[in-house]
Amino acid sequence: MLPVSSPPKAPSSRRWHLRRWFVQGLLISLPIGLTIYFVLMVGRWVDGIFNGPIHALFGVDIPGLGILLTLVTILGVGFLASHTLSAWIFERINAVLERIPVFHSIYSTIQETVELLLGGKDRGFRSAVLVPQNGAGAYVIGLVTRDELSEIPGLGEDCLAVYVPMAYNIGGFTYVVPRDQLIPLPELSPQQALRFAMAGGVGSGRHLREKLQAVKAAAEATDKTEAGEAPH
């Protein structure tokens, strides 16, 4: 009886190439796929806002018409809000909504968050800074949201409100920090700093990391000079 020969094994170099191609394909296709999925999911949600009225008027579902009507509605509200009379009406509606118990807390939080992210009414992120951590030579990236806190009693120092975002998460912390302890990052826009912090320092590119390293080195050299040590 002849022995059964086993199938030839693929060379290790070929297996290595297959693994590398698979990883490269995953790195390219996964972000694209997740982005398309997210856009389609948001699009379906926006499109569904007007599904009921459209179906009642036309008797059929028209894909994409809900998105178009939503965009037209947003533009219409913005157009009306830019005129004095209609802006006064929106202000009255806003005042009424802020007086409703429970609803007021939810509405005001969402309103302030949207204004903060979009920069409405001069409430956007003002600048990017580094916040020292307990004198240990470590820093976190923060975004200045308020440059005066007169409504908070007992601070006693010139303090700012600094929002520190969390990496790979929706959330963060609000620090109250003396102005002289913050290290400004004038070459970094608030949007770049936000992306850098939320991506854990990975997704913002090498040039941003080099900027932060240069700022940190300059701050350490200044500290040594103030302490009477000659910088290396």
- Residue of higher predicted confidence among 224 and 46: 46
Average pLDDT over residues 122-146: 80
Cβ(185)–Cβ(211) under 8 Å? yes
Residues 6+ apart with CB under 8 A from 191: 125
Task: Report the residue count for the chain.
Answer: 232
| CB of 155 closer than 8 Å to CB of 167 | no
pLDDT in tens, 173-186: 888 888 888 888 88
Percent of the chain residues topping a pLDDT of 70? 78
Separation in Å, CA 57 to CA 23, 50, 53, 218, 221: 50, 11, 6, 66, 70
End-to-end CA distance of the chain: 79
Residue 138: pLDDT band with limits 50, 70, 90: confident
User: And the tokens for 146?
Assistant: 């308020």
Q: Look at residue 214 and tell me whether its pLDDT is greater than 80.
A: no
State residue 126's pLDDT score.
80
Is the distance from CB of 157 to CB of 178 less than 8 angstroms?
yes
Contact 141, 164 (CB under 8 A): yes
Residue 157 — pLDDT band, cuts 50, 70, 90?
A: low
Asked if the model's pLDDT at residue 155 lies above 80, the reply is: no
